[in-house]
Amino acid sequence: MKRTLLSLLICLLPSLAANEFPAKNLSNGTSVAVIDKARKLQSIHVIGSNPPPWRVPLARCVGDCDSDNDCAKGLVCFQKDRFTAVPGCSGGETDSSYSDYCVRESDILSRVYVPQVPATEENNADVPRDGTKAFPKIQKIGNNIFDHLGSDKYPLGLCSGDCDSNSDCRGSLVCFERGRNQPVFGCSGGSRDSSQQDYCISKDSVLAPSDRPALPYTSRNFRLKLYWEQSYRWQEETRERKWCMVYNYRSQSCWHGLRRQRCAQDSIYITKCKDKEIRQQFAFDYLDGGDEILIRLGSGHNRCFQRRDNSIVLRRCDASSSLQRWYAPNGDFQGYRFEISQQNYNKQCVTTAHHPKEGEVVELHSCKQSRDRDHQSSYWNIH
């Protein structure tokens, strides 16, 4: 009987991991699914997005942490997405926030790993910018990639879904998370897809011409997130923190370079991306010609980004002012990622001074330096 039960458990492990736990990339690039050991778990508990100093360091299963330094000795800060299991804790699967929690590193390392098929070369389908060739149509392979392991459908190719992470996509393709009827960069058919399936795209892809509204127009609200790739090592970390722009930053002091000083209410800062946070909502005014935009607050206030030397301040929107008109020296504002600069100031890009950290001011810095391998912080994307 014992031998029979053990054999049954071994057979069930891959399907359990596929259905209950997210994919994870090991340091050697191998993509794996994970499943926690069966044991009684401690419930997660959130003190707040910015815990008071006397509550730090945080105990196990407590959040919201920003780095390992926020956690008690022997614990690390585990970054999670919405409805994601937290190692060694219970409640993450029902937590709709992006709060991060302190966990034991051993809880991460002691999971049972089920290998997946490694990625192969990228699907090199043509992704035109000018509409002269047809954009590939989205293709729904299925919402459970484990059904296709070992087949030529996995890893997923260009415009194929449903993906859950970049590791589900072929080569250098990335998994584009989308809402209902949201166009898919570099693909056609997304605006007619009412599901919430996510698709693999090229990181330099743009919207199909049929998905671009007539100019000029104002976009929907969104968050502006500092673009990140798995090869990036911000603050010596190998995982993404998801840093978004925020205005009216509510803190006593902010980072301006290496200095801590009083936060300016008309400046833009970096903070962790939070769902439904109105102060992280922005919109683009696409101007005639389509190469330049205004960046306005999404709150309905008529305030836009304006350059003042190397700083960014919020001023009444004025499309005639060259100080408020922004363009993308690399990437595309209607694409997956883009840089932000100005035509008459094109050696400076909108970014942070170095690797991003909580409460750091967003300004204009050398595009060349921010693209450098030691920085890798010149790109943004809509989140």
Interval 84-135: pLDDT, tens: 788 889 888 788 777 888 998 777 654 433 333 333 333 333 344 444 457 8
Share of residues in the chain with pLDDT > 90 (%): 31
Q: Among 1-10, 54-63, 255-264, 369-378, where is mean pLDDT lowest?
A: 1-10
Top-confidence residue, 253 or 345: 345
The predicted structure's pLDDT at residue 113: 30
For residue 363, give the nearest of 289, 264, 236, 251 by alpha carbon: 264
Same domain membership, residue 337 and residue 195 = no
The predicted structure's pLDDT at residue 109: 52
Residue 32 confidence (pLDDT) above 50: no
User: Which tokens in the block code for residue 293?
Assistant: 């935009």
Same domain membership, residue 229 and residue 357 = yes
Same domain membership, residue 332 and residue 300 = yes
Domain that residue 51 falls in: 2-115
**Average pLDDT of 258-276?**
89
Same domain membership, residue 252 and residue 193 = no
Kindly report, residue by residue over 63-88, the tens digit of the pLDDT: 888 777 888 988 888 877 667 788 88
What whole-number distance in Å separates Cα of residue 76 and Cα of residue 192?
Answer: 42
Same domain membership, residue 343 and residue 302 = yes
pTM value? 0.60
**Average pLDDT of 156-171?**
89
> Last residue of some domain: 115, 143, 163?
115
Residue 31 confidence (pLDDT) above 80: no
User: Which tokens in the block code for residue 145?
Assistant: 């990639």
The predicted structure's pLDDT at residue 122: 37
What whole-number distance in Å separates Cα of residue 371 and Cα of residue 356?
Answer: 14
Same domain membership, residue 252 and residue 140 = no
Q: How many domains does the chain have?
A: 3
Same domain membership, residue 92 and residue 144 = no
Same domain membership, residue 249 and residue 127 = no
Residue 350 confidence (pLDDT) above 90: yes
Top-confidence residue, 328 or 164: 328
The predicted structure's pLDDT at residue 210: 76
Residue 147 confidence class, pLDDT cut points 50, 70, 90: low
Residue 300 confidence (pLDDT) above 50: yes
Residue 187 confidence (pLDDT) above 50: yes
Same domain membership, residue 247 and residue 189 = no
Same domain membership, residue 276 and residue 222 = yes
Same domain membership, residue 125 and residue 111 = no
> Last residue of some domain: 83, 115, 147?
115
The predicted structure's pLDDT at residue 151: 66
**Average pLDDT of 6-31?**
40
The predicted structure's pLDDT at residue 309: 94
Same domain membership, residue 323 and residue 222 = yes
> Last residue of some domain: 212, 243, 272?
212
Mean pLDDT of the residues in the chain = 79
Q: Return the CATH number at 314.
A: 2.80.10.50
